[in-house]
A and B are shown apart, each in its own frame.
Chain A
Amino acid sequence: MSNQVTLSINNQSITVPAGSTIMEAAQKLGVSVPHFCWHPGLSIAGVCRFCMVKVEGMPKLQIACNTPATEGMKVDTVSSDVKDAHKWALEFHLINHPLDCPICDQAGECELQNYYMKVGKYQSQMEDEKVLKPKALDVGDTLVLDTERCILCSRCVRFEDEVTKTSTLGIFNRGDQATIGTYQDRKIKHNYSYNLADICPVGAFTAKDFRFKCRVWFLKETKTVCPGCSTGCNVNLFQNSNQREYYRLKPRHNADVNGHWMCDTGRTMYEHLNASARLPAPLLNGETVSSQAALQAVTDTLKSVSADKVAVVLTAQFTNEDYKATLSTLKTLLKGTPKVFVWRDESEKAEDFDGILFRGDRNPNTRGMMDVFKEQGVSPVMLKGDFSALASAAAELTLIFGPEVEAGYPNLGKALSRFVEVKKAVYFGNTLNESAKKMWLRMPVKVFAEKSGTFVNFNGVAQKLKANPPVFTAVKGVDEYFADLSKMSQATL
């Protein structure tokens, strides 16, 4: 018995694994079947009744999301009766919807709007008063709920039941009084709450972190990887390119890494990218200098010390390319291997995992860094709470590569004050932390959104970042700085 079935959709043939639904077959074929309640990451509810298709031999229209595809099945998604069913399904969804698009934050990425343009475009026959329901409900630290806009697709309820297993949400009452809400005295309290705003096809759930900040049509998305932990969720990063301002991240589907979701911690990974949160230019002894001048100062120092008097302190938040450039350049220039340390926050529990996506190792590239060490023949010493190994190295020059995402380093201030104790500390990073001010040299670096390097996640999956134009044009990535250093050293030889 074959475990594949071949069916035709609008006379196009498609083969899918047995047990697939018509919806899945249509998706594979690239045929769009309108839907609200169906979501590939959740169980099938079959309640919106929007995905009606005609199946040859069946007297009634069928829902594509729950009808199994069978061998030889002939499906039609474009005939006039199917189109009429889609139009009416939309009309039923909209008769009690407030149609407050001008003040709704979902406008521009609202499935009701999109489908109205695609399959609706009718004159509504609804002339009666709409059903009124509670609005602007505070349902937790991250979300606002407008139950009037809700189309009761139950995606959020299923997400809470199936993904986070927190079951905070339910649909209460029945008939047209049915209302989405949280159970009494309960709030949405988990690290995946923004996914609810994502999967909500309408403006019922909106994110406190994003609402009223920017209309979505001003945003451009970049497909990249979240730097928030060692899972490396695939994300879309949204920037208003006119303002060079980042506003939010959303998950991007990758079955091998994060599925459809990402955590709330990851959602904050836009905050440190914007100009106000970053060090704009190098500071040498507290004075702003050009990159050229800063790198010249480093070059001069490198010439005067031997390899065993240079210490490199790395955090696992840089790309493979950054590590390679740093280590190979230093080895060439110093004609020897410097002392390498890996700095991790003392509170870190790297093995922790929340069972969904979020990992205790808050560094996106621990695996990649270790791979580069192996390749470069480097055996690092761990600095975690205890910095005595660094002190006893008594280095003349210490190059510190601080964490880009400082949220993963709650003891950052304390650690920085320890680094100040070393001779000639060069700090590569964006921190505006007071404790960093006493460092000899502070070099601002590009953030993940501006780089095109590689992160290797906890599971060994190597993923490429995608670079946007940098917020500060003079700021470079670590790999670029070290390429410059290499050139400058050779020029002065």
Chain B
Amino acid sequence: MPVMNSPYNGRQPSEFRILTELEGVPNSRSLEVYKKHGGYAALEKVLKGGMSPDDVINLVKASGLRGRGGAGFPTGMKWGFVPKAPGEKYLITNFDEGEPGTYKDRYIAELNAHMLIEGKLIGAYAIGASKSYIYLRGEFYGEIAWCEQAIKEAYDAGYLGDNIMGTGFKHHMDVYIGAGSYICGEETGLISSLEGKKGQPKLKPPFPAVKGYLGQPTIVNNVETLAAVPWIIRNGAEAYKKFGTEKSAGTKLFNISGPVVRPGCYELPLGYPLKRFIFEDCGGLIGGKKLKAVIPGGASAPVLTAAEIETITMDYEAFAGAGTMLGSGAVIVIPEDVSMVHVLENLMHFFKDESCGQCTPCREGTGWLLKMSRDIVNGEGSPGDAEKIADVAGKMMGRTICTFSDAAAGPARSIPQKFAHEFLEFYKSKQNAAQAHG
């Protein structure tokens, strides 16, 4: 592959080490190693260096850090929404990581969960929360153990408790293990689940920052978002903004899956060229296969064709401009020999299974989309079906409590639109096969 032009010419991914600094370090999960690499210095700076909660919020705002769970909402601004009035407030970490193709949060816990705990403590100080939870996906056995271990170590070392580092700041932390539902990764669905209810998103207003967990002001942050906070506090907003683009600051973990030579979790500055990432960092497709399409931000992100990724960069704005989204940073690579009809059916199966069933358009629509896609796969499709799928999907968008319905509709609209010819071929080949058998 020729070297592509990009603002990062000559720099390798290994240079961007904010979240993956401990990669390859022996015994990286221990508190000792974490402290050797500057761990808990940020907390000390906040608590003992005279930073007020507003100072923390302003610094995070200035860094341009945005939510890494998928929506990309500015983190400092989110923290600023919490009312200053006294009373119980909660900071919850969304560690439900359920977006298909995503495995970045567990990578953080695998490297060192203290990054998350320190970031969480700083966030809790900023919003005035004395209690926080890590909401963990039930299947993450290792991650659950690592988080629990890190919390225990933090208590033992005096980073958690009633009088943290002797400053009088009080904070308690616990893990909560979910029962495995995609929708519990939606912030209000997560809050419902944490409250012991069925994991279903809540109606807004009221917004969680005003009335969330147990009716109290609540902030839900992604693991990756919080894990970046200590570095930002230590190095300053300007240092963080040196990475990424003007509107998409910093680095982001990208998970690549599909038949690439070197799949895995990569830390890259936002604005990194997608094509370079796939073909240089990840070594291109196995066996020199041709690229057909890329789902750039997890299952809910509308698909991009090979032509569309020629020049696109991996940041919130560029992806939004191409009608898709950065999402969780899960890049799913689809090679030439995979039918997009099967891709659609596969995705629709996922969304049908995971719709919470609360809002009618989503509950009924996701099932309907699956049935229609399955009909096509089973050779019962006919011209016009792909358009009908896109049409039904369009009526599911913007009509529900949470954005799950939009997420399901994204691929159901983009795949039939962008790969209409594959659907036509599919009807034809199935008809031919049927005639041959008849």
Find out whether the CB atom of B361 lies under 8 angstroms from the CB atom of A49. Answer: yes
Name, among A93, A95, A126, A176, the residue most crowded by chain B CB atoms within 10 Å (CB to CB). Answer: A176
Instruction: Name which residue of chain B comes closest to A153, CB basis.
Output: B360
Contacts of A333 in B (CB 8 A): none
Provide the residues of chain A in CB contact with B398, threshold 8 Å: 60-61
**Chain A residues, Cβ within 8 Å of B400:** 49
Chain B binding surface SS class: helix
Interface majority SS (helix, strand, loop, mixed), chain A: loop
Q: How far, in Å, is B383 (CB) from chain A's closest CB? A: 14
Q: Is the CB of A48 within 8 A of B356?
A: no
- Bits for B359-375, please: 1 = Cβ < 8 Å to A, else 0: 11101111110011001
B114 within 8 A of A: no
- Known A45-B203, A175-B352, A176-B352: A61·B364 in contact at CB below 8 Å: no
Interface residues in B, total, Cβ within 8 A: 32
Q: Are A89 and B361 in contact (CB under 8 A)?
A: yes
A48-B360, A93-B360, A95-B364 known; A175-B372 Cβ under 8 A: no
Q: Do the beta carbons of A95 and B361 come within 8 Å of each other?
A: no
**Residues of the B chain whose Cβ atoms lie less than 8 Å from the Cβ of A66:** 203, 205
Whether A176 and B375, one on each chain, are in contact in the complex, defined by CB atoms closer than 8 angstroms, is no
B353, B361, B363, B368: which contacts A128 (Cβ < 8 A)?
A: B368
Query: Does chain B have a CB within 8 A of A171?
Result: yes
CA distance A126 to B198 in the complex (A): 29
Contact across chains for A88 and B361 when beta carbons are under 8 A apart = yes
Q: Does the CB pair B205–A131 fall under 8 Å?
A: no
Q: Is the CB of B371 within 8 A of A178?
A: no
Contact A176 B205 (CB under 8 A): no
Q: Would you call B355 an interface residue if the criterion is a C-beta within 8 Å of the partner chain's C-beta atoms?
A: yes
For B364, list chain A residues within 8 Å (CB): 92-93, 95-96, 176
Residue in chain B with minimal CB distance to A176 = B367
| A335 at the binding interface (Cβ < 8 Å) | no
B428 CB within 8 Å of chain A: no
- In this assembly, does A380 line the interface, its C-beta being within 8 Å of a C-beta of chain B? no
Say whether A52 contacts B357, CB under 8 Å.
no
Whether A92 contacts B357 by the Cβ 8 Å rule is no
CB-based contact B203/A175 at 8 Å: no
State how many angstroms separate the Cβ of B197 from the closest Cβ of chain A.
10
Are A175's CB and B356's CB within 8 A?
yes
Q: Is B45 an interface position by the 8 A CB rule?
A: no
Q: Bound state CA distance, A47 and B375, in angstroms?
A: 29
Interface string of B182-198 (1 = CB under 8 A from A): 01000000000000001
Q: Please encode chain A, from 99 to 134, with 1 for each CB lying within 8 Å of some chain B CB and 0 for all others.
A: 000000000000000000000000001101101000
User: Are A125 and B359 in contact (CB-based, < 8 A)?
Assistant: no
Which of B181, B396, B401 lies in contact with A174, CB distance below 8 A?
Answer: B181
Say yes or no: B401 contacts A92, CB within 8 Å.
no
Q: B407 within 8 Å of A by Cβ?
A: no
B172 CB to nearest chain A CB (Å): 31
CA–CA, A52 and B356, complex, Å: 21
Set A50, A126, A178: member contacting B363, Cβ < 8 A:
A178
Q: What residues of A have a CB within 8 angstroms of the CB of B399 in the complex?
A: 49, 52, 61, 85, 88-89
Task: Tell me whether B21 is interfacial, beta carbon within 8 Å.
Answer: no
CA distance A45 to B356 in the complex (A): 14
CB distance from A62 to the nearest CB of B (A): 10
Nearest CB of B to A128, in Å: 4
B residues in contact with A177, CB < 8 Å: 357
CB < 8 Å neighbour of A125 from B352, B355, B392: B392
CA distance A92 to B205 in the complex (A): 25
Q: Give the residues in chain A near B352, CB-CB below 8 Å.
A: 175-176
Q: Is the CB of B375 within 8 A of A128?
A: yes
Q: How far is the CA of A88 from the CA of B365 in the complex (A)?
A: 10
Residue pair A47, B395 in contact (C-beta under 8 Å): no
Interface residues of A in 147-174 (CB under 8 A from B): 151-152, 170-171, 173-174
Residue of A nearest to B405 (CB): A49
Say yes or no: A173 contacts B357, CB within 8 Å: yes
- B388 close to chain A: CB less than 8 A: yes
Taking the nearest CB of chain B, how far is it from the CB of A63, in angstroms?
9
Quick check: is A360 within 8 A (CB to CB) of the other chain? no
Once the chains bind, are B357 and A152 in contact (CB under 8 Å)? yes
Chain B residue at minimal CB-CB distance from A170: B198
B354 at the A interface (CB under 8 A): yes
A302 shortest CB reach to chain B, Å: 69
Q: A140 near B: Cβ within 8 Å?
A: no
- B358 contacts chain A at the CB level, 8 A cutoff: yes
| Cβ contact within 8 Å between A175 and B360 | no
Chain A neighbourhood of B392, CB < 8 A = 125
In Å, the complex CA distance between A48 and B388 comes to 23
A175: chain B residues at CB < 8 Å are 352-357, 363, 366-367
Contact (Cβ within 8 A) B363 A152: yes
* Contact of B368 with A126 in the complex, beta carbons under 8 Å: yes
Docked Cα-Cα span, A61 to B366, in Å, equals 20
Is A50 a contact of B371 with CB atoms below 8 Å? no
Within A32-87, the residues touching B (CB, 8 Å) are 44-50, 52, 60-61, 66, 68, 85
In the complex, what distance in Å separates the CA atom of A151 from the CA atom of B357? 11
**Pairwise interchain contact B360-A47, C-beta atoms closer than 8 A:** yes
The docked-state distance in angstroms from the alpha carbon of A152 to that of B368 is: 17
Distance of A310 from chain B, by nearest CB (Å): 65
Measured between C-beta atoms, what is the minimum distance from A81 to chain B in Å? 11
Given contacts A61-B398, A128-B372, A175-B354, contact A49 B360 (CB under 8 A): yes
Are A178 and B361 neighbours in the complex by a CB distance under 8 Å?
A: no
Which B residues are CB-close (under 8 A) to A49?
359-361, 399-400
How many angstroms between the C-alpha atoms of A459 and B159 in the bound complex? 61
* Interface residue from A60, A61, A92, A174 paired with B360 (Cβ < 8 Å): A92
For window 389-422 of B, CB contacts with A under 8 Å fall at: 392, 395-396, 398-401
User: Does B356 contact A174, Cβ atoms closer than 8 Å?
Assistant: yes
Residues of A near B356 (CB, < 8 A) are 174-175, 178
Closest to A92 in B: B364
Chain A residues near B198 (CB, 8 Å)?
A: 170-171
Q: Which residues of A contact B395 (CB under 8 A)?
A: 85, 88, 91-92
Given A44-B203, A88-B395, A174-B355, verify A131-B361 contact (CB < 8 Å): no
Most-contacted residue by chain A among B183, B352, B359 (CB, 10 A): B359
Which partner residue on chain B sits nearest A173 by CB separation? B357
Q: How far is the CA of A93 from the CA of B363 in the complex (A)?
A: 9
Whole-angstrom distance from the CB of A247 to the nearest CB of chain B?
Answer: 32
- Give A42 Cβ to nearest chain B Cβ, in Å: 13
Q: List 26 A-B contacts (CB under 8 A).
A: A46-B203, A46-B401, A47-B359, A49-B361, A52-B399, A66-B205, A68-B205, A88-B361, A88-B395, A92-B365, A92-B396, A93-B364, A126-B368, A129-B371, A170-B198, A171-B357, A175-B354, A175-B355, A175-B356, A175-B363, A175-B367, A176-B352, A176-B355, A176-B363, A176-B364, A177-B357
Given contact pairs A92-B361, A171-B198, A175-B353, a sample of 8 additional A-B residue pairs in the complex whose CB atoms are under 8 Å apart:
A46-B203, A46-B401, A91-B395, A92-B364, A152-B360, A174-B181, A178-B356, A178-B363
7 A-B pairs closest in CB distance: A178-B357, A176-B367, A128-B371, A175-B355, A92-B364, A46-B203, A60-B398
